[in-house]
């Protein structure tokens, strides 16, 4: 089984926290997704896929920002973290 297939299935296991994670962890990367007129569910799935690709266990301090107007846009960002052993 290729690593791409594993990543696609494992991204669903990436936990999402809107604050610090409940377990001790170390930061890996700040990840952001921005699109015009997209929905938050789609953006969160992409964010989790990106986190899984770098080996993250969770996304911490996730923020969702909408801007309205003629061209509505959405930005979702979070800190990819790896749990401490």
For residues 16 and 26, give the distance between their C-alpha atoms in angstroms, rounded to a whole number. Answer: 15
Instruction: Give the helix ranges, DSSP H, for the chain.
Output: 3-10, 40-53
pTM value is 0.81
What are 31-49's pLDDT values in tens digits? 999 987 767 888 899 999 9
Residues 6+ apart with CB under 8 A from 22: none
Q: pLDDT at position 26, please?
A: 96
pLDDT tens, residue order, the chain (85 aa): 344 444 445 888 999 999 999 999 999 999 999 987 767 888 899 999 999 999 999 999 999 998 887 888 899 999 999 999 7
Q: pLDDT at position 61, please?
A: 97
């Amino acid at each position: 089984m290729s690593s791409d297939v594993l990543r696609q299935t494992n991204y669903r296991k990436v936990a999402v926290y809107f604050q610090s994670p409940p377990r001790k962890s170390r930061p890996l990367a700040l990840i952001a997704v921005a699109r015009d007129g997209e929905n938050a569910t789609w953006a969160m799935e992409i964010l989790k896929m990106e986190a899984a690709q770098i080996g993250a266990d969770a996304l911490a301090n996730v923020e969702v920002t909408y801007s309205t107007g003629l061209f509505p846009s959405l930005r979702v960002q979070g800190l990819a973290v790896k749990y401490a052993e």
